[in-house]
Structure 1
Amino acid sequence: MNPSDPEVLAAEKKRGGGPVRRFRLTAAEARVDLGGRTLRTWAYGDDLPGKEVRVTAGDILDLTLANHLPVDTTLHSHGIRLRCDMDGVPDLTQAGIKPGAEFAYRFAVQHPGTYWLHSHSGMQLDRGLYAPLIVEDPKEPLTYDKEWVVVLDDWVDGVDGSTPDSVLTQLHHGKRPPMDMGTGGMSGHGGSAGHHAMARGPARAGSSGPSRVLRGSHSDLLSSMGGNVDFPYYLVNGRLPQAPTVFRAKPGDRIRLRIINAGADTAFRVALGGHEMTITHTDGYPVQPTTTDALLLGMAERYDVLVTAQDGVFPLVALAEGKKARALAVLRTAKSGALPEPSVQPDELQGRLVPARRLVPGDAVAYSDRKPDRQIRLRLTGNMKDFNWSFDHRPYSVEQRHPIRQDERVRLTIINATNMWHPIHLHGHTFAMTGLDAAGARKDTAIVLPHRKLVFDFYADNPGLWMLHCHNQYHSESGMMTTLGYHR
């Protein structure tokens, strides 16, 4: 099935149609202030992150992206179960949006939750092209006084001449990644085979910056190196630890935090000093309330938590796992009191941490014990020396397909045969993490540790062509992407 085939349109029609909510984003060169450090990058307007897009489940989202960049771009609504031709994957579900052109993304938004928007073209995600997408629940079961959207990021663009593209080239020892983009382009859309190279854009004139290759890193939580890139900065809501954002509340307020990891190469361990957190959702879907001191978020994962605000000034610390660095924001409920130091280390970072595989899905979203109709096994392959990340030793090609059929329950087993951890993301669906006893929490992105496996089930109820890829941007752009395709 192609991205706009009748089956795709029929599935979209079943999602219904409520009020149309219109938004407009402009991707353009911008100067952003990280809190005393102003840098040139690409962003959605002058804000970092981009301005929040907020709708209600049942709405029709009509979002126009205007491209004022010097290269092609697209927009992906991460985690949303949407019609395939609105998924924003260049050469697969749409042609890239040319410089000076615009594209209207229009689709029904069925499920509430915490999601986000980002470019899906080349290395653009690791610039400033991302924004929160919040889908409110018209029958919200949670009670809280305030809401705090927290976006985490690792940052390199524009620092001492560095760009994400130049860093990718460093990881490939001075060469462009040898990814096979195929020759046929995208079915029915006239896609061009070289889109990802074009969408990356050239490195800034004059310098490729200092070496950003991470060395000597290790994380016990991730059983491997923390990542591949030594970022100069780590941000919460676009701010450096030396000039953090401050969220104000009253003692006793019940606060819902919606935490999004928009980083390209960094897992964050997150804790709020002086508080315990109650996990209520992961990747937009409810779980049985679970108390924890800290969270671990791989790239593109989201967690919703509730906290009861204490009296004082408290650090929200996002430790760059395995990288000896951190991002910082502040919760203030007292009128006086100094801000925490950038190096603050709350005890909660070393406290309880509940991994996603141990979370129990909410009753309304739990999978039945139905057996899978189809099983697919894939291996993650590659190594740090050659930086040749792929599925089954096959770099990404737009022609590659792993067949599935409408209404199947599919079990996907991903075996990590590498020495690195990988956050794996499936487009257009949510899956249930599967253990020995029962189907677990519903997610769209999950970490698989080195020499371990990730097993999950999903229902093939959204026809089209859907990417499965590592959400380490440097791994995916080196070839660790593939496609699941619905067949009649």
Structure 2
Amino acid sequence: MQINRRRFITSTAGLAAATSLSMPAWAKGGSLTHAKRGFGEVSGEDIRLAIGNHHFMTGGRSGHAVAVNGTVPGPLVRLREGQNVKLHVTNHLEEDSSIHWHGLLVPFQFDGVPGVSFPGIKPGETFTYEFPIRQSGTYWWHSHSGLQEQAGHYGPIVVESADPDPRYDRDYVVLLSEFTPIHPHEIMRKLKVGEHYFNRQMQTATDGEMSGEMRRMWGEMRMNPRDISDVTGTTYTYLINGHGPADDLQLEFQPGERVRLRVINGSAMTFFNVRIPGVPMTVIQADGQDVADVEVDEFQIGVAETYDVIVTPPAGSHALVAEAMDRSGMGVASLTSHKGHIAAPPALREPVTLSMTDMGMMDHSAHGGGGSMDHSMRDKSAVPDDVKVGPGVDMIAPMPMDRMDFPGLGLDTVKHRVLRYTDLKAKRMNPHRTVDREMEIHLTGNMERYMWSFDGKKFTSVTDDPIRFGFDERVRVKLVNDTMMAHPIHLHGHFFELVNGADHMNQPLKHTVVVQPGGTATFDLTANEPGDWAFHCHLLYHMHAGMMQVVTVRPFPAPGEA
């Protein structure tokens, strides 16, 4: 068979042209501006932000980024309690975009979730967010469009209190995140093909302390005891304020100063263990809300959480370490009183291995071996009738228990002080309200198929059936994690009170709660912000795969009304 060379060249050129038309400009090989590492600052009552395609490089890894005002992370938005602000956001991408003001109490139409509270920002358009600042504290902002957050579309928020805070002399934002040169949609594709694609710490037949019987049991359950993080240091460079470990980021102080560190987990998928070896930390805020002082040596911070701590480091250089929960890498900065001196970080600790408790089991021996244990974990008759037990649900925790006192995977065996939710107490008393109603929501998934959901229902299939709260209704919500992964669950537009053993008047306020594997977490919510609000797992690829819902807060209709 002979091929006409001219026809072949013509058809190939046509195919290339057609492919080019379907590709975004940044993918066609054109030059992009290099985004700066780190962030500037914007403030005042009239703020302008511009979203655009850029190139980003750190730690030997480089690739496409979505930057705001030309930096990754985007600029620190500094606001003041009591002011009114207008934020003009211009979208220079070739796709829709958005900004969600994570933790800020705003009218729902300015919450920034396309399809829930507004249509999104079209290419070339500017959208103006306008709202009063009703709070103070540490928060952050990020895209809620597609997977743009993974590509660099996020940044910090600091809201200064109307009253001066005398507790510290110096103030730093510590924004934790990750960078990968792999496009986020390609990461999603790889996770759908094989959920262990990025895991390089799986146990071998002879590795670790696990017995042969235990290995057989895990094998029968088709589960991996090292399945801690979906995306790991094999592709991520872990960042502090946009700087990888090789960038030698320095945070300077003078000996004797009280330094406030506003730690924000702005990552897409990574829980971090934060510590400054040899320097104790006093936790003063959680999710922007004041708590009674708690002194610790380390804390685990889930995706989207914030913790403010005060440290008084001695003279010298100290490693500020944000170690990924699965211990596949770390972000590092130097807290130093000697400019130019870099602190040596500690070595990575041993990988974390899941236990039977993480499977919602009190004691595997009580279940008579692997076969019956596997059966009990797949017994779907124990869940409420409103949980859809289809192919998207591959396990049910048979004995889920409250794990508010658990410090986080891998931190339950360390000898130093680690923060637990049970340590948190609101600094100011909450108004006393009795609970009007109780509800239970199951966190469900099928890890092999990379399907995630609430109550077995993907978000796309339940948009017409939201979670309904009456305005000012007081609801106790129990989250039951039927999966073997920790999930940071975030409710937009509200703060809820953790039911953590504290007196009900001092239950800590949060906007995000980590629900441990095989465990439960409970919060009390006063639904006093009317509108439609997103409610989702803040692991980006879990949300994208379906672990999201809409919460609607409306006055209940009077008897006889529709």
Q: Normalized against structure 2, the TM-score is what?
A: 0.72
Residue in structure 2 matched with residue 283 of structure 1 by the alignment:
287
The correspondence for 1:71, drawn from 95, 104, 110, is: 95
Q: Are 2:294 and 2:424, in contact at CA under 8 Å, matched by a contact in 1?
A: yes
Residues 123 and 154 of structure 1, relative CA distance in 2, 3 Å threshold: same
Residues 342 and 124 of structure 1, relative CA distance in 2, 3 Å threshold: farther
Once the two structures are TM-superposed, the CA of residue 37 in structure 1 deviates from its matched residue by 5.0
Once the two structures are TM-superposed, the CA of residue 238 in structure 1 deviates from its matched residue by 0.8
1:377 maps to 2:413: no
1:25 maps to 2:27: no
Once the two structures are TM-superposed, the CA of residue 411 in structure 1 deviates from its matched residue by 1.2
The correspondence for 2:249, drawn from 245, 248, 252, is: 245
Residue in structure 1 matched with residue 192 of structure 2 by the alignment:
172
The correspondence for 2:528, drawn from 461, 477, 481, is: 461
Residue in structure 1 matched with residue 326 of structure 2 by the alignment:
322
For structure 1, the 5+ residue unaligned runs are 1-18, 176-210
If you compute each CA radius of gyration, which structure gives the higher value, 1 or 2?
A: 2
Distance in 2, matches of 1:144 and 1:435, equals: 28
Report the structure, 1 or 2, having the larger helix content.
Answer: 2
Q: Are 1:26 and 1:65, in contact at CA under 8 Å, matched by a contact in 2?
A: yes
Amino acid at match of 1:419: M
Distance in 1, matches of 2:57 and 2:451, equals: 35
Amino acid at match of 2:541: Y
Residues 420 and 46 of structure 1, relative CA distance in 2, 3 Å threshold: same
The correspondence for 1:351, drawn from 407, 416, 431, is: 416
Using CA pairs under 8 Å that are at least 6 residues apart, name the structure with larger relative contact order, 1 or 2: 1
CA-atom RMSD in angstroms: 2.3
Residue in structure 1 matched with residue 38 of structure 2 by the alignment:
none
Secondary structure at the counterpart of residue 314 of structure 1: strand
Once the two structures are TM-superposed, the CA of residue 214 in structure 1 deviates from its matched residue by 2.5
Once the two structures are TM-superposed, the CA of residue 377 in structure 1 deviates from its matched residue by 1.2
Residue in structure 2 matched with residue 225 of structure 1 by the alignment:
227
For structure 2, the 5+ residue unaligned runs are 1-42, 204-224, 350-410, 556-562
Distance in 2, matches of 1:92 and 1:466, equals: 7
Secondary structure at the counterpart of residue 477 of structure 1: helix
Q: Are 2:482 and 2:517, in contact at CA under 8 Å, matched by a contact in 1?
A: yes
Once the two structures are TM-superposed, the CA of residue 353 in structure 1 deviates from its matched residue by 0.7
Distance in 2, matches of 1:480 and 1:464, equals: 20
Distance in 2, matches of 1:39 and 1:143, equals: 41
Q: Are 1:217 and 1:322, in contact at CA under 8 Å, matched by a contact in 2?
A: no
Q: Are 2:421 and 2:500, in contact at CA under 8 Å, matched by a contact in 1?
A: no
Amino acid at match of 1:374: R
Distance in 2, matches of 1:459 and 1:282, equals: 19
Distance in 1, matches of 2:482 and 2:432, equals: 29
Once the two structures are TM-superposed, the CA of residue 369 in structure 1 deviates from its matched residue by 4.4
The correspondence for 2:163, drawn from 132, 139, 163, is: 139
The correspondence for 2:278, drawn from 248, 252, 274, is: 274
Distance in 1, matches of 2:202 and 2:242, equals: 25
For residues 262-281 of structure 1, the C-alpha deviation after alignment (integer angstroms, 9 at most, x for no partner) is 11111000011331000000
Distance in 2, matches of 1:477 and 1:427, equals: 16
* Length, aligned pairs only: 423
Mean Cα deviation higher: 353-362 or 377-386:
353-362
Distance in 2, matches of 1:217 and 1:431, equals: 37
Distance in 2, matches of 1:120 and 1:338, equals: 36
Once the two structures are TM-superposed, the CA of residue 55 in structure 1 deviates from its matched residue by 0.7
Q: Are 1:267 and 1:297, in contact at CA under 8 Å, matched by a contact in 2?
A: yes
Secondary structure at the counterpart of residue 278 of structure 2: coil
Once the two structures are TM-superposed, the CA of residue 113 in structure 1 deviates from its matched residue by 0.7
Secondary structure at the counterpart of residue 441 of structure 2: strand
The correspondence for 1:405, drawn from 470, 479, 482, is: 470
Residue in structure 1 matched with residue 27 of structure 2 by the alignment:
none
Distance in 1, matches of 2:327 and 2:343, equals: 24
Amino acid at match of 2:295: T
Residues 436 and 280 of structure 1, relative CA distance in 2, 3 Å threshold: closer
For residues 370-406 of structure 1, the C-alpha deviation after alignment (integer angstroms, 9 at most, x for no partner) is 2211222110110210111000111003323111111
1:477 maps to 2:544: yes
Residues 462 and 243 of structure 1, relative CA distance in 2, 3 Å threshold: same
Secondary structure at the counterpart of residue 126 of structure 1: helix
Secondary structure at the counterpart of residue 104 of structure 2: coil
Once the two structures are TM-superposed, the CA of residue 40 in structure 1 deviates from its matched residue by 2.5
Amino acid at match of 2:259: I
Residue in structure 1 matched with residue 14 of structure 2 by the alignment:
none
Q: Are 1:260 and 1:303, in contact at CA under 8 Å, matched by a contact in 2?
A: yes
Once the two structures are TM-superposed, the CA of residue 344 in structure 1 deviates from its matched residue by 7.5
Residues 142 and 480 of structure 1, relative CA distance in 2, 3 Å threshold: farther
Residues 126 and 350 of structure 1, relative CA distance in 2, 3 Å threshold: farther
Once the two structures are TM-superposed, the CA of residue 240 in structure 1 deviates from its matched residue by 1.1
Distance in 1, matches of 2:164 and 2:266, equals: 25
Alignment of 1:42-441 (within 5 A): 42-156=66-180, 159=181, 162-173=182-193, 213-214=198-199, 216=201, 225-230=227-232, 231-335=235-339, 337-340=341-344, 343=347, 351-363=416-428, 366-397=429-460, 398-436=463-501, 438-439=503-504, 440-441=507-508
For residues 192-234 of structure 1, the C-alpha deviation after alignment (integer angstroms, 9 at most, x for no partner) is xxxxxxxxxxxxxxxxxxx95335469xxxx973311123311
Distance in 2, matches of 1:168 and 1:64, equals: 31
Distance in 1, matches of 2:87 and 2:340, equals: 42
Q: Are 2:254 and 2:337, in contact at CA under 8 Å, matched by a contact in 1?
A: yes
Q: Are 2:422 and 2:502, in contact at CA under 8 Å, matched by a contact in 1?
A: no
Secondary structure at the counterpart of residue 314 of structure 2: coil
Distance in 2, matches of 1:217 and 1:153, equals: 24
Amino acid at match of 1:433: L
Secondary structure at the counterpart of residue 239 of structure 1: coil
Residues 104 and 335 of structure 1, relative CA distance in 2, 3 Å threshold: closer
Once the two structures are TM-superposed, the CA of residue 368 in structure 1 deviates from its matched residue by 4.1
The correspondence for 1:447, drawn from 502, 511, 514, is: 514
Residues 355 and 81 of structure 1, relative CA distance in 2, 3 Å threshold: same
Residues 417 and 333 of structure 1, relative CA distance in 2, 3 Å threshold: same
Residues 36 and 380 of structure 1, relative CA distance in 2, 3 Å threshold: closer
Q: Identity of paired residues, percent?
A: 35
Q: Are 1:57 and 1:138, in contact at CA under 8 Å, matched by a contact in 2?
A: yes
Secondary structure at the counterpart of residue 389 of structure 1: strand
Secondary structure at the counterpart of residue 323 of structure 2: strand
Once the two structures are TM-superposed, the CA of residue 141 in structure 1 deviates from its matched residue by 3.5
Distance in 2, matches of 1:138 and 1:468, equals: 30
Residues 253 and 217 of structure 1, relative CA distance in 2, 3 Å threshold: farther
For residues 302-340 of structure 1, the C-alpha deviation after alignment (integer angstroms, 9 at most, x for no partner) is 000001121001110000011321110111102574442
Mean Cα deviation higher: 301-310 or 392-401:
392-401
Mean Cα deviation higher: 302-311 or 392-401:
392-401
Residues 487 and 138 of structure 1, relative CA distance in 2, 3 Å threshold: closer
For residues 336-356 of structure 1, the C-alpha deviation after alignment (integer angstroms, 9 at most, x for no partner) is 7444258478xx986211112
For residues 434-456 of structure 1, the C-alpha deviation after alignment (integer angstroms, 9 at most, x for no partner) is 03453421110110011211100
For residues 239-274 of structure 1, the C-alpha deviation after alignment (integer angstroms, 9 at most, x for no partner) is 111113101111111101000001111100001133
Secondary structure at the counterpart of residue 244 of structure 2: coil
